[in-house]
Amino acid sequence: MSRTLRLRHAAAPLLLAAALALTGCSDEESPGSGNEGNSGDTNANEVSAAGVSFEAPEGWKSLDPNDADIPDDEAADLADGLGLTPEQLDQTISGVDLFLVDGEGPQDGFLSNINVLAQQGALPDDGALESQFAAIGAEVIEVSHADTGAGDAAVVEYTLSVGNRTIEGVSYLVDMDDEIVTVTVSTPDRAEADEIAATIGDTLAEAS
Q: Distance (Å, rounded) from C-alpha 188 to C-alpha 21? A: 13
Is the distance from CB of 18 to CB of 96 less than 8 angstroms? yes
What's the pLDDT band for 82 if we cut at 50, 70, 90?
low
Judge whether residue 12 has pLDDT over 60.
no
Most confident of the ranges 14-28, 73-87, 155-169, 193-207: 193-207
Judge whether residue 33 has pLDDT over 60.
no
Q: What Å distances lie between residue 46 and 38, 87, 183, 207, CA to CA?
A: 8, 29, 14, 10
What's the pLDDT band for 119 if we cut at 50, 70, 90?
confident
Residue type, 11: A
Q: Distance (Å, rounded) from C-alpha 90 to C-alpha 94? A: 6
Domains of the chain: 11-206 (3.40.1000.10)
Is the distance from CB of 123 to CB of 181 less than 8 angstroms? no
Q: What is the pLDDT of residues 89-106, one digit of tens each?
A: 777 777 788 888 888 877
Q: What Å distances lie between residue 114 and 1, 71, 102, 131, 178, CA to CA?
A: 32, 23, 9, 22, 23
Residue type, 7: L
Is the distance from CB of 126 to CB of 140 less than 8 angstroms? no
Burial of 195 (0-12, 13-18, 19+ CB in 10 A): middle
Judge whether residue 126 has pLDDT over 80.
yes
